[in-house]
Amino acid sequence: MTQTKPLAGVKILDMTRVLSGPYCTQTLFDLGAEVVKVENPQHGDDSRLFEPFKSGKSLYFEATNGGKKSLTLNLKNPAAVEVLKRLIARTDVLVENFRPGIMAKFGLDYENAKKINPKLIYASISGFGQTGPDALKPSYDILAQARGGLMSLTGEPDGNPMMTGISLSDVIAGVFAATAITTALYHREKTGESEHIDISMLDCQVAMLESAMMRYQATKIPPKRVGCRHATEAPFQMFQASDRPFVLAAIAGEAMFQRLCQAIGHAEIGADPRFSTTAARHDHIDELGAALQRVFDGKTAAEWVKLLEENAIPVSLIHDLQEVEADPQVQARQMLIKSESPELTDVKMIACPIKMTSLPAGGSRPAAPELGQDTTTVLRDLGFSGEEIENMKQSGAI
């Protein structure tokens, strides 16, 4: 049975670029929506020019624009703005990640867009949000990680703040935006109401602080960096084996900790009064780490992982991306799928992590569009004549 994807029939007008917005609309595409991406005719989404390249294609762009249609519009040209208005009248959702105020310059801020389409869901993603003293400032992932507190929590206790090695703030803003949009789609089915969604990278970063912010609230002392271990539980950390580091988390009660000590042949660690209860381990978190580290020096990480897994202790190697691709669980879950682009047959793309009855695992990633490849088709569907389209080309509107 061919299942209809859950957002089948939903039309997304995608006025986003680089990462937070395209990540959001890629997720909506994967869930079954139709996504029409609006790009400037000069060079399109900036990220078409971003590394890495393969067969002349930016894989950066490819990763978050698969299956979208590309329509070029020069919004400084009034004819292009008229096209956009006609698109807005027919779309379900508009997503934009311009700096606040840019859409208003085109006369297409939320209030005006809603006049064209009273049921429109209009989602704005920005660095700092649509309101507040810094709303108009530009942002980037590293600024959100720094300003939102994440860098202060990441890194060695005696070292500098550390950036997380992915564009975390963009990704989380994109996923929260997708949650907001699908919520608004549900709400509109119930009530017919339009919505303006206002997602900020900084807000989303703050929303991720969870127990760290609670530790600050409890003590009014900013939490310090703790390196590769849990702030309050032990053993939950990275250890160095003879060849490479690995991680374990044996914090599910007394029996698990005793099983760990037995398994590594050091029952005396489990019997040590400093470590003999959860509370005691918490109070002697440094000494416990040191005692275990002396043991783990003695075998390779793979040997420890095998031994500890046999004893039902949560443990893992620290995978580089080659090992991630080769991981049997990642493969079984089909998290890396083939690209449908004929030039990218040896490239694996990241799959949507949402699996549900109407969206089973597997499949392949449609190619990202060439710049403007769907301009003529989209304009014809909107009712523009061949002559009108030609005139728009001549005038540089498309």
Contacts of 349 (CB under 8 A, 6+ apart): 62, 63, 66, 336, 337, 338, 339, 364, 365
Label residue 189 exposed, middle or buried (CB < 10 Å: 0-12, 13-18, 19+): exposed
Would you call 230 a catalytic residue per the annotation? yes
Token pair for 345? 């047959």
Q: Pick from 204, 261, 285, 308 the residue near a copy of itself by CB under 8 A.
A: 204
Does the protein bind a copy of itself through residue 340 (CB under 8 A)? no
Q: Pick from 118, 192, 321, 342 the residue near a copy of itself by CB under 8 A.
A: 321
Q: Are residues 161 and 147 in contact, defined by beta-carbon separation less than 8 angstroms?
A: no
Q: Which amino acid does the sequence have at 39?
A: E
Torsion angle of alpha carbons 326, 327, 333, 336, nearest 10°? -30
Strand ranges (E), 179-307: 195-200, 236-240, 245-249
Which part of the chain contacts a copy of itself (CB under 8 A), choosing from 100-108, 260-268, 332-340, 365-373?
A: 332-340
Total residues contacting a copy of itself (rule CB under 8 A)? 147
- Judged by DSSP in three states, 349 sits in strand
Q: Are residues 311 and 337 in contact, defined by beta-carbon separation less than 8 angstroms?
A: no
Considering the complex, state which of residue 218 and residue 255 has its C-beta at the smaller distance from a copy of itself: 218
Token pair for 68? 């979208």
Q: Are residues 44 and 72 in contact, defined by beta-carbon separation less than 8 angstroms?
A: yes
Does the protein bind a copy of itself through residue 337 (CB under 8 A)? no
Task: Give the angle 41-46-49 at the CA atoms, nearest 5°.
Answer: 105
Does the protein bind a copy of itself through residue 241 (CB under 8 A)? no
Computed on alpha carbons and rounded to an integer, the radius of gyration of the chain in Å comes to: 26
Considering the complex, state which of residue 175 and residue 397 has its C-beta at the smaller distance from a copy of itself: 175
Does the protein bind a copy of itself through residue 113 (CB under 8 A)? no
Q: In angstroms, what is the minimal distance from the CB of 68 to a copy of itself? A: 16
Does the protein bind a copy of itself through residue 217 (CB under 8 A)? yes
Considering the complex, state which of residue 200 and residue 375 has its C-beta at the smaller distance from a copy of itself: 200
Query: In the window 150-169, what residues touch a copy of itself (CB under 8 A)?
Result: 150-156, 159-168
Q: In angstroms, what is the minimal distance from the CB of 314 to a copy of itself? A: 5
Query: Which residue stretches of 264-320 are H helix?
Result: 267-271, 278-283, 285-296, 301-310
Q: In angstroms, what is the minimal distance from the CB of 36 to a copy of itself? A: 20
Q: Are residues 126 and 99 in contact, defined by beta-carbon separation less than 8 angstroms?
A: yes
Q: In angstroms, what is the minimal distance from the CB of 255 to a copy of itself? A: 13
Query: In the window 9-38, what residues touch a copy of itself (CB under 8 A)?
Result: 9, 19, 23, 27, 31
Residue environment code for 24-41, b if the CB has 16+ CB neighbours within 10 A, otherwise e: bbbbbbbbbbbbbbbbbb
Q: In angstroms, what is the minimal distance from the CB of 291 to a copy of itself? A: 19
Considering the complex, state which of residue 18 and residue 84 has its C-beta at the smaller distance from a copy of itself: 18
Binding mask 62-91 for a copy of itself (x = CB under 8 A): xxx---------------------------
β-bridge mates for residue 199, sequence order: 125
Considering the complex, state which of residue 161 and residue 270 has its C-beta at the smaller distance from a copy of itself: 161
Q: In angstroms, what is the minimal distance from the CB of 206 to a copy of itself? A: 5
Q: Pick from 86, 99, 187, 284 the residue near a copy of itself by CB under 8 A.
A: 187
Q: Pick from 102, 116, 208, 280 the residue near a copy of itself by CB under 8 A.
A: 208
Q: Pick from 299, 347, 374, 396 the residue near a copy of itself by CB under 8 A.
A: 347
- Report DSSP state, residue 353: S
Considering the complex, state which of residue 52 and residue 298 has its C-beta at the smaller distance from a copy of itself: 52
Which part of the chain contacts a copy of itself (CB under 8 A), choosing from 71-79, 196-204, 263-271, 372-380?
A: 196-204
**Distances from the Cα of 175 to the Cα of 148, 259, 261, angstroms:** 17, 39, 41
Does the protein bind a copy of itself through residue 238 (CB under 8 A)? yes
Q: Pick from 79, 81, 102, 226 the residue near a copy of itself by CB under 8 A.
A: 226
Does the protein bind a copy of itself through residue 303 (CB under 8 A)? no
Residue environment code for 338-363, b if the CB has 16+ CB neighbours within 10 A, otherwise e: ebebeebeebebebbeeeeeebeeee
Catalytic residue numbers, as ranges: 230
